[in-house]
Amino acid sequence: MSKEKHEDWQLEQQRVDKVVEEIDQKQETLQNKIGGVKGEVIDLRENFFEDITVNMDEPDDVLETHNSIRQQAELLGERERSHRHFYDQLKTLKRLKNSPYFGRIDFHEDGDKEGQAVYIGLASLMDQEEEHFLIYDWRAPISSLYYDYSPGRAAYMTPEGEVEGDMTLKRQFIIRNSELKGVFDTGVTIWDDLLQEVLGGNVSTRMKSIVSTIQKEQNEIIRYNKKRYLLVQGVAGSGKTSAALQRVAYLLYRYRGSIQADQIMLFSPNPMFNSYVANVLPELGEDNMQQTTFLEYIDKRLSDRFDYEDVYSQLEYLLTSKKDEAYTLRFNGIQYKASLSFKALVDNYLKDLTKAGMVFRNIKFKGKTIVAKEEIRDYFYSLDDAISTPNAMEMLVSWILQQVKAFEKKERTKGWVEEEIQHLSKEDYLKIHHQTQAGYRGNEDTFDDHIREQRILSKAVVQKYMKPLKRKIQQLQFVHMEEIYKNVFQYHPSDAPADWAAIAEDTIQALEEKKLYHEDVTPFLYLEDQIKGVHVYTNIRYLFIDEAQDYSPFQFAFLKQLFPYSRMTILGDYNQAINAHNVTTPNPLSEDMHNQEEMEKLTLLRSYRSTKPIVEFTKHIVAGGEDIEPFNRDGISPTVTRVQDAATHMETIEQHIQAMQNKEYETIAIICKTANESRHAYDALKHDFDVKLMDKDHYTFEKGLMIIPAYLAKGIEFDAVLLFNASKEQYSEELERNLFYTACTRAMHELHLVSFGEYSPFITAANHNTYEAITIPSK
């Protein structure tokens, strides 16, 4: 960057000073307001009842008292809200004071007498008179000019339509601690300089916001508001996740008042990623959206019913098992069960179920059958088949509960109840006794107190024991979902794989052992929802699906059903698809999975994460990689070291670690293919290095040296990456190609590969000028 100061440096510093002064004054005013409101809140809380006349004598008085309490509570609530609001404003001012803005454009709107200078920062700031903007929020319509144009003709969209004009200046600032550190007028190269600086630093364990350097094509994603589905195919490191998070901030700004952070949800690849991105929105002065993973969702629904297989265990199996007959069977099953053909099969089966085939469980109490499964089935099929299955289930529940009620009445006279009453704890007894008194209104003469109490006690005891059963009935646990799902496999669809009969048998066998393969999880839940009714997320207005290439067509159809009122931003990279079901089936990034009128696809080809030498190396690993554009950032070439024996392998790994640690990188990852290999690497290194082993249950991303399986490193980045074993034995199948690419593209500044034995063909596929090859002979 040029060391010479810009000619307007002094003027701009003066403006910074002026703005900071305004901020100081506003801070003071706000502090005073906060102090005042705080006092009021404390006062109101302490003396809540003093201003209320409590009078319960007459119904009218009760009503008045009630109203007066409500008014007082409303007043308190309103004051508390003001306090929070002022406090948030103060936080924003503090942030602005450090760095009030990062950009300026001078824009002369067509038809206006003169142009205006627009300064752009993290939030808007008006002058004391509240007349002029000293700073425009980066999300304001006019700020778009900054990201979309170089000086010259320019336009931006407002809710009222397009505004055109001339941009006469575009300037960038670096301001830290209220002091100007840099001023650059635009030309593309200077833009690059600033980005160079941002990207050249060490990674922190938290993702940063990118508002001062958002690129035009990212800005389009951030502000997109046309169609329901926005698909973003972006190469590794192109800023998909960054764009998604700034888009959340944009939506919260654009629809302030009508959309809140809890109405936006992000499906992320793993819990560690959640911790990685957790800071971005708070840094931008916004609340975090809801964040979850598909695994978390599944776990909530299935953990107490099945020993279900999670996606990582499925991957471990596929990546580590011998490629025998059982493997092929499993692999074929995964493909088919992920497809929309299988969904169609389930849908057909559901239609048949409206006529026959539903399986129920007996409703039992203390070993006795209250309602037999055959009776339940007969009642269910006696209902009009025009009634939807979930509605029919509701009617069925009412009917069963009636039978249970009748049973309950009879049960009160049984011996076990009497016995239970004898053994009631004192507390329970007193509780019931009080209830007896409370519900008792006169007529003493007709009742013997003791008999009456006994009756109420037996009723209470039976009720207590029946309660869990009733709850289970309400939750439709009497619908035998496992049996019903098993019966899907009685069908033999014409487009199923040739070994379908064996796949079906294997699935049934697993279900009998209460095991559910990962590939069966979504079909199972889908089937269950069609029968019992879907618990949809009505509240979510915007859904973000990151790493969307890893979702199967069936999973995506399932998600669409869960979020019927949401607009969706679907981001991913087909070259990073690492799940077995993506080998032959499309994924939510495929255009043909959507209604064309409802979707738009945007593509990001520029990679910002890694240095140019790293991108030049990795782009050859995948098909279509020649389109990937590296961002022009220098660095050392990746190295590939071939070793021939285990001792030299570990020695080489250790030397690399030493060398990287000497460079004081914040995060260094040794990426392995699987959890198995990670454990092996960890055992070999733990005595000599301060190293952490990351597994699927690890929820936070910390700095330092770590060993991590490639599939868990998805979405995350490290200063330096060492691929533990890039041999042919480890990476040669198609599924492994994407895993290999994902692993290599996690590196920001340095990438080293060690291959125990012959190289992976994906290395040889790379242009040999893009890496430094070293072979260490056997000792």
Residues of the shown chain interacting with ligand ATP in the complex, contacts defined by CB under 6 A:
195, 198-199, 208, 210, 213-215, 218, 234, 236-242, 573, 576, 608-609, 715, 717, 745
C-beta separation of 211 from 37 below 8 A: no
Nearest approach, Cβ of residue 238 and ligand ATP (Å):
4
Which segments within 63-222 are labelled E, that is strand?
103-109, 116-121, 125-126, 133-137, 152-158, 161-176, 179-185
Residue type for 523, please? P
Q: Which residues pair with 709 in a beta bridge?
A: 672
Closest to ligand ATP by CB, 236 vs 593, is 236
Instruction: Select from 528, 530, 527, 406 the least CA-distant residue to 477.
Output: 528
CB of 651 to ligand ATP, least distance (A): 31
The answer to whether residues 243 and 235 touch, using CB atoms and an 8 Å cutoff, is: no
* CB 274 to ligand ATP: min, Å: 14
Report the DSSP pairing between strands 363-365 and 368-371. Answer: antiparallel
Pairing of strands 704-709, 718-723: unpaired
Backbone angles phi and psi of 775, in degrees to 5: -120, 130
- Annotated binding-site members: 234-241
Residues at the annotated binding site for ATP?
234-241
Pair 299, 508: CB distance under 8 Å: no
Nearest to 692 by CA among 684, 666, 205, 702: 702
Per residue, what are the HEC states of 705-730?
A: EEEEEHHHCCCCCEEEEEECCCECCC
User: Among residues 57 and 626, whose Cβ is nearest to ligand ATP?
Assistant: 626
Q: Provide the phi-psi class of 680: left if phi over 0, else alpha when psi is between -120 and 50, else beta.
A: alpha
Give the CA distances from residue 690 to residues 657, 671, 683, 706, 720, in Å, rounded to whole numbers and listed in that order.
Answer: 11, 16, 12, 9, 16
Q: Which is nearer to ligand ATP, 240 or 518 (CB)?
A: 240
Q: Give how far Cα 350 sits from Cα of 386, 390, 496, 622, Å.
A: 14, 12, 18, 41
Nearest distance from C-beta of residue 138 to ligand ATP, angstroms = 12
How long a stretch of residues is the chain?
779
Nearest to 280 by CA among 462, 120, 122: 122
Amino acid making up residue 314: Q
| CA 494 from centre of chain | 37
Q: How far is the CB of 99 from ligand ATP (least distance, A)?
A: 15
Alpha-carbon distance of 343 to 338, in angstroms, equals 8
User: Residue 770, by phi and psi: left (phi above 0), alpha (psi -120 to 50) or beta?
Assistant: alpha
Residue 631 vs 756, nearer CB to ligand ATP: 631
Closest CA to 660 of 721, 571, 726: 721
Measured from the CB of residue 214, what is the shortest distance to ligand ATP in angstroms?
Answer: 5
Start-to-end CA span in the chain (Å) = 49
Minimal distance, residue 195 CB to ligand ATP, in Å: 6
Asked if residues 93 and 62 have their Cβ atoms less than 8 Å apart, the reply is no
Q: Which amino acid is at 283?
A: E
Q: Token match 């670690």: residue?
A: 657
Report the residue number, 239 or 709, with the smaller CB distance to ligand ATP.
Answer: 239
If you search the block for the tokens 């810009």, which residue do you land on?
Answer: 6
Amino acid at 722: L
**Strand, coil or helix: 291:** strand
Nearer to ligand ATP, 171 or 240 (CB): 240
Nearest distance from C-beta of residue 740 to ligand ATP, angstroms? 14
Q: Which is nearer to ligand ATP, 371 or 578 (CB)?
A: 578
In the bound complex, what is the minimum distance in angstroms from residue 208's beta carbon to ligand ATP?
A: 6
Are 18 and 101 within 8 A, CB to CB?
no
Q: Which is nearer to ligand ATP, 408 or 719 (CB)?
A: 719
Joined tokens for residue 262:
């809890």
Give the nearest distance from C-beta 172 to ligand ATP in angstroms. 12
SS3 393: helix
- Based on CB atoms, which residue is closest to ligand ATP, 222 or 531? 222
| CB-nearer residue toward ligand ATP: 180 or 210 | 210
The four Cα atoms 615, 621, 624, 625 give a dihedral, to 10 degrees, of 10
Q: How far is the CB of 266 from ligand ATP (least distance, A)?
A: 12
Residue number, nearest CB to ligand ATP: 239
Closest to ligand ATP by CB, 125 vs 614, is 614
Q: How far is the CB of 621 from ligand ATP (least distance, A)?
A: 13
Q: Contact, 101 vs 175, CB < 8 A?
A: yes
Q: What are phi and psi of 84, to 5 degrees?
A: -60, -45
Q: Which is nearer to ligand ATP, 245 or 462 (CB)?
A: 245
Quote the tokens at residue 584.
Answer: 């032959």
Residue 216: CB minimum distance to ligand ATP, A: 10
Nearer to ligand ATP, 349 or 544 (CB): 544
Q: Which C-beta is closer to ligand ATP: that of 530 or that of 576?
A: 576
Q: In what order do the strands lie in the sheet with 229-234?
A: 290-292, 264-267, 542-545, 567-572, 229-234, 599-604
**Which of 592, 591, 551, 589 lies closest to 573 in space, CA to CA?**
589
Q: At its nearest, how many Å lie between ligand ATP and the CB of residue 203?
A: 7
